[in-house]
Amino acid sequence: MTVSPFVVSTVNVNGVRAATRKGMLPWLETTDAHAICLQETRANDGELTKALAPALDSGWHLASAEPSAKGRNGVAILSRTAPDAVRVGIGAEEFADSGRYIEADFGAVTVASLYLPSGEVGTERQEEKERFMAAFAKYLAKAAKAAGAADRDVVVCGDWNIAHTENDLKAWKTNRKNSGFLPEEREWVSALLTGKAPWTDVVRELHPDVEGPYSWWSYRGKAFDNDAGWRIDYQFATVALAERAKEAVTERAEAYDQRWSDHAPVTVRYR
């Protein structure tokens, strides 16, 4: 049985070992989330378990997809209860060991943690991002269809590395030719939200027609102080679950020196 309300958080930790040194563990002590999706852990399973040992000792359960490349990628899910099942990957051989996707079942809800590749226009990194996007779109279409047939709910949380609309980043005018805000990337997101088995951008549904709420700010300059950020950390849910979302909060630190990642946790409360 899935608890109600069911609270889900997602955050790119920008290196779990650094995050736990900077303040992530006290945050875990105070959050009321039932499941927390982590991205960019940059740790193998041993390093991840060691970094999160105090949380695991206090009762949290951990499922992870460690990266094959040392110090890169890595996704995980922390949960109050042990998941019923865990699956890693999106069925694409190229990304099988990349540590970019993991999903876990909790009763009738599947919670997934995604770290979509970042890109750079004109480079192999952008080509890799586009290959992942193509494979992931197919995976999401199948997942939504399967969830509907089985009367299940799915929420895919994570760092999608794409700002969908002009309201999703402060400096959109100067980023129109940069990866993360390219027209074809934005159209890809739109297709996910309007396809035959559509997904719902839960945070945007609860915060329509406003700038942000941003979830990532560069460490450079005064981006955080000026709230010159990007909203790239999403919770995309199947329709029935999205209709149960009643509150979405981006847990922005009160001050620059209180940040334990360059991303803020994005937390949604589902009925």
CB 36 within 8 A of CB 3: no
Compute the distance between CA of residue 249 and CA of residue 27 in angstroms, rounded to an integer: 15
Active site residue: 115, 214, 234, 270, which one? 115
The answer to whether residue 115 is catalytic is yes
- CB-neighbour burial class of residue 157 (10 A; exposed 0-12, middle 13-18, buried 19+): buried
Q: In what order do the strands lie in the sheet with 245-250?
A: 61-65, 75-79, 35-39, 6-12, 266-270, 245-250
Tally the residues of the chain.
271
Which pair of tokens denotes residue 268? 């949604």
- CB-neighbour burial class of residue 152 (10 A; exposed 0-12, middle 13-18, buried 19+): middle
Active site residue: 101, 153, 159, 214, which one? 159
Phi and psi at 20, nearest 5°, equal: -70, -30
Compute the distance between CA of residue 89 and CA of residue 100 in angstroms, rounded to an integer: 7
Compute the distance between CA of residue 35 and CA of residue 50 in angstroms, rounded to an integer: 19
- CB-neighbour burial class of residue 40 (10 A; exposed 0-12, middle 13-18, buried 19+): buried
Residue 86 bridge partners (DSSP): 104
- Separation of first and last alpha carbons in the chain: 14
The answer to whether residue 32 is catalytic is no
Residues recognised as catalytic: 115, 159
